[in-house]
């Protein structure tokens, strides 16, 4: 059971677009997926590569668990130290379906795992990822 970073084709992209919760800023053609656990991290674009509060739009992601969308918006900052890229992810907003309320702690454990694979795949080098979560909202 492990997440993998992979490029996706237009067919898979169209499937994911039907499952995610908006907003879709600029849908990206890669995913982080764990097929055994049925989790997918989809990048919906954004401009959140600056600290929160600098006026830029956040990055938008959906974490799909058994096809149920968990939407979150975040800002990232990066710092390279000793060949490793340290990435701080500040989740500004996260929304889960009400029926996943009892799984919130597990989701908060899995999102950093998926984001570590995502950033390592995007940067093509070793990364460490720290994630700060706000209070989760339910819909």
Quick check: 53 pLDDT over 80?
no
pLDDT, average across residues 8-29 = 88
pLDDT, average across residues 43-52 = 82
Cβ–Cβ < 8 Å for 100, 64: no
Instruction: Return contacts of 81-85, CB within 8 angstroms, 24+ apart.
Output: 83/125, 83/126, 84/125, 84/126, 84/127, 84/128, 85/119, 85/123, 85/125, 85/126, 85/127, 85/128
Residue boundaries of the structural domains of the chain: 4-138
Query: Is 122 strand, coil or helix?
Result: helix
Quick check: 134 pLDDT over 90?
yes
């Amino acid at each position: 059971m492990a997440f993998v970073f992979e490029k996706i084709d237009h067919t898979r992209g169209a499937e994911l677009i039907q499952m995610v919760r908006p907003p879709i800023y600029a849908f990206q053609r890669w995913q982080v997926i764990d097929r055994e656990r049925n989790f997918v991290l989809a990048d919906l674009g954004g401009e959140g590569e600056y600290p929160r509060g600098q006026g830029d739009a956040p990055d938008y992601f959906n974490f799909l668990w058994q096809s149920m969308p968990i939407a979150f918006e975040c800002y990232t900052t990066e710092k390279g130290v000793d060949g490793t890229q340290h990435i701080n992810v500040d989740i500004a907003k996260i929304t889960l379906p009400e029926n996943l309320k009892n799984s919130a702690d597990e989701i908060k454990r899995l999102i950093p795992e998926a984001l570590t694979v995502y950033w390592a795949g995007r940067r093509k080098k070793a990364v460490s990822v720290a994630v700060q979560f706000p209070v989760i909202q339910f819909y």
